[in-house]
Amino acid sequence: MKVAIVGGSGLVGRALTRSLVADGADVLVDSRDARRRASAVPAPARIADWSPNDIAGLAESIAGMDAVVNLAGARVAPWPWTRRRKALIKSSRVDTIHAIVEALERLPTDRRPSNLIVVSGIDAYPESLPGADPAPMTESTPMGTEFLAQVSRSVEDEASRAQALGVRVTRVRMGNVLARDADLVWFLALPVRLFLGGRIGSGQQWVTWVHIDDAVALFRLALTNAVPGGVLNVTSPGSCRQIDFVRSMARALRRPVWLPAPAALVRLVLGEQSALLLGSRRVAPEQATALGFTFRYPTIDQAFNAVFG
């Protein structure tokens, strides 16, 4: 298998690359700064420079590949969501997938990758009330209207243009990834390690997560013909309340949970970005379950024991 990963030097990209090359796949990572990112790409995968303004160069790099995975995009945290930052978050994603589709269009059919995987997040779904006990949202749930949902819609709509080229398009909506070096884990584990852990807001908001190993396995599944395209939730079946999330983390770290962070304080400090911590989304991996996928870490305790073990 030949796979091009655009923006593959991040957490998920590195893990996916390691998994693919371990099975003998030919992996090319396209990076905006290949020289600086080269050390982050596991050998024997290759890395090459790319730019959304160089469509011809991108087309040349993905020619003959079986699949393209797009993981590129500016980080949504920790910087404040100023007007300029929000514009960057959106443009870094939309411009990238636009360039990829343009590159696919330039390639002859026999040199064009047949599979395109584009990644957004579970923020594509609408928020639910934190204290509610909603039925899990699935791949058929309509998209939300919040800022990140609008970004996801723009990205997915742009990616869908590739279907007219005969390319199978899978729109991955990924939950909060749990790994030792994941930003979310570091951010939330720090106060717990310092004996300052506690619920955020009411603690009743739903947190949808996925262990890095299960995320990679689901990406690998999407690279096969088993997934017919469309939306694929890369999430664990074990969504939980935020208070249960932090309690599980504290158990794994052998720390107490006692100091709450009031919602008003979180909103005061983070502004609109507080939605990342106070937002509530309970999302289920319906398609993965229907395909018979077996999760290695289906519960939050299993995931955190692996992360901190």
Task: Say what the pLDDT of residue 78 is.
Answer: 87
Torsion of CA 58, 62, 68, 71, to 10 degrees: -40
Task: Say what the pLDDT of residue 242 is.
Answer: 97
Per-residue pLDDT of the chain (309 residues), as tens digits, is 999 999 998 999 999 999 999 999 999 999 988 889 899 898 899 999 999 999 999 999 999 999 999 999 999 988 999 999 999 999 999 999 999 999 999 999 999 999 999 999 999 999 987 677 889 999 999 999 999 999 999 999 999 999 999 999 999 999 999 999 999 999 999 999 999 999 999 999 999 999 999 999 999 999 999 999 999 999 999 999 999 999 999 999 999 999 999 999 999 999 999 999 999 999 999 999 999 999 999 999 999 999 998
Taking the CA of residue 64 as centre, how many other CA atoms within 13 Å lie in the half-sphere pointing to its CB? 5
Is the bond preceding 78 in cis, omega lying within 30 degrees of 0?
A: yes
Burial zone of 27 (CB within 10 Å; 0-12 exposed, 13-18 middle, 19+ buried): buried
Taking the whole predicted model, whether its pTM rises above 0.75 is answered as: yes
Measured CA to CA, the distance from residue 219 to residue 156 in angstroms comes to 17
Task: Say what the pLDDT of residue 134 is.
Answer: 85
Measured CA to CA, the distance from residue 115 to residue 98 in angstroms comes to 16
Length of the chain: 309
**What percent of the chain stands above pLDDT 90?**
92
Task: Say what the pLDDT of residue 129 is.
Answer: 75
How does pLDDT run across 78-123, given as a tens digit for each residue? 899 999 999 999 999 999 999 999 999 999 999 999 999 999 999 9
Region of 9 on the Ramachandran plot (φ > 0 left; ψ -120 to 50 alpha; else beta) = alpha
Region of 200 on the Ramachandran plot (φ > 0 left; ψ -120 to 50 alpha; else beta) = beta
